[in-house]
Every structure is written in C-alpha cells, then in structure tokens.
Amino acid sequence: MTISEVSEKYDLPADTLRYYEKVGLIPPVTRRESGVRDYSPEDCGWVEFIKCMRGAGLSIETLTRYVALYRKGNRTLKQRKQLLLDERDHLQARIKEMQQVLKRLNYKINMYEERIVTCEKKLLG
C-alpha cells in the first residue's frame, strides 16, 4: 500500500506516518524502485497498533520505548508486559477521572434544564 492509501485507511495524515517511521514507532517501510513507500500488512499492523495506543493516550516516548524493546526480541517480554501494565493503570485512572468529570457535567446540565423549565413556567404562567 502507498502512504496515501495507508493515510486514508487509518485516517492519519501522511506527515504523521512519515514521523512515526522517522522516530521508530513503525519499522522502516520498504520502498519501491521509484522511492515510494510500500506498506506491507505488517507495517499496517504497526500503524494500527500505534494509532490505537496514541488514542488511548500513550506518549510517543512510551511507544518508542515499547517498539525498541520489541525489536530486541523475546528477552524483553517481561519488560514490554510491565510497560503495558503501567500504561493500563494510567488509563484506568484517567477513565475514572473522566467519569467524575462527566458526572459533574451532567449535574451542571441538569441544573440548566431545571432553570430553563422554571423560567418557561414563569413566562407562560
């Protein structure tokens, strides 16, 4: 797949894909004789993984560390697992925090709804 096809498929700008390759988040993509990147299914798997993890809030630095460990092979399995466990803990804490924010937003919205109904009753009363 070309970079434009991968860009469209994963809804990521081509510049982002180039950056991910430059900083080592995805392996170097093979190129055709013309120099055009030719993404393999494995490359696309990395793109999908990185996009998912970025969407979950993992930093570029954390993902770079993960990919570097991955490239060292099975001797880093425990380290990679621990990194993912740590990130899961951070994500769960963020979700809990976001649930509290959502609860507060819903409370504020309900207060406005009550005030709107009260004002309408006065106007129509």
Residue 122's pLDDT band (boundaries 50, 70, 90)? Answer: confident
* 0.75 exceeded by pTM: yes
Could you tell me the fold of the domain covering 3-124?
Multidrug-efflux Transporter Regulator; Chain: A; Domain 2 (1.10.1660)
Q: What is the arithmetic mean of pLDDT over 102-112?
A: 96
Q: What is the arithmetic mean of pLDDT over 93-120?
A: 94
Tokens found for residue 96: 């809990």
Residue 91 contacts residue 57 (beta carbons within 8 Å): yes
Tokens found for residue 49: 């993984």
Residue 50 contacts residue 61 (beta carbons within 8 Å): no
Instruction: Considering only residues 23 and 124, tell me which one the structure prediction assigns the higher pLDDT.
Output: 23
Residue 121's pLDDT band (boundaries 50, 70, 90)? Answer: confident
What are the extents of the domains in the chain? Answer: 3-124
Of residues 49, 7, 56, the one with CA closest to residue 25: 49
What is the dihedral sign for C-alpha 70, 75, 80, 83? negative
Provide Rg for the chain, Cα atoms.
Answer: 23
